[in-house]
Amino acid sequence: MSHAQRLDIAAIDKSAYAPLLALEKYVHAGHLGEALLALVKLRASQLNGCAYCLNMHAHEARTAGVAQQKLDVLAGWDEAPEVYSDREKAALRLTEQVTLIRDGVSDETWKTAASRFDDQEMVELLMAISAINVWNRLAVSTHQHLD
């Protein structure tokens, strides 16, 4: 399989990303905080195998002050529960189940997340998870190159 970039979406249609950028603006203006958003984006990007997004969001996580240990063990976060806060664990589990949506989101996962995040934060979290999954799918399918 070739890893040559297949398509440069922005070069073909500068307005194609506008809806996603508006969604990002909404998510980042919310109440979740940059550190949690970075963890969510990194975990979804790991699951989706998106090197472009992993590179970008690891940098964002470090800029947001996420501890290196959290970044180092993120792929196995559920094996290191002492490393993450209850909110982070709830967000990461929800991220995994929304990203791998085929099996749905369990009632237990939903209840746990809803106990850690208020309704507004749940909306913001779902939008953040949805947004990174769209970005991942675009980058992986077009073989977007690292900058």
Three-state DSSP at 105 gives coil
CA–CA separation, 141 vs 55, rounded Å? 17
Q: Which two tokens stand for residue 11?
A: 């070069």
Q: What is the pLDDT of residues 36-77, one digit of tens each?
A: 999 999 999 999 999 999 999 999 999 999 999 999 999 999
Asked if 70 contacts 83 with a C-beta cutoff of 8 angstroms, the reply is yes
pLDDT band at 30 (very low <50, low <70, confident <90, very high): very high
Mark out the alpha helices in the chain (DSSP H runs): 9-12, 18-28, 34-48, 51-63, 68-72, 86-99, 107-116, 119-142
In this structure, the dihedral spanned by the alpha carbons of residues 140, 10, 30 and 39, taken in order and rounded to 10 degrees, is 30
Give the pLDDT confidence score for residue 1 in this predicted structure. 64
Does residue 2 have a pLDDT over 70?
no
Give the pLDDT confidence score for residue 41 in this predicted structure. 98
CA–CA separation, 18 vs 63, rounded Å? 25
CATH fold, domain 23-141, is AhpD-like (1.20.1290)
Domain ranges of the chain: 23-141
Give the pLDDT confidence score for residue 43 in this predicted structure. 98
Q: What is the pLDDT of residues 79-133, one digit of tens each?
A: 998 999 999 999 999 999 999 999 999 999 999 999 999 999 999 999 999 999 9
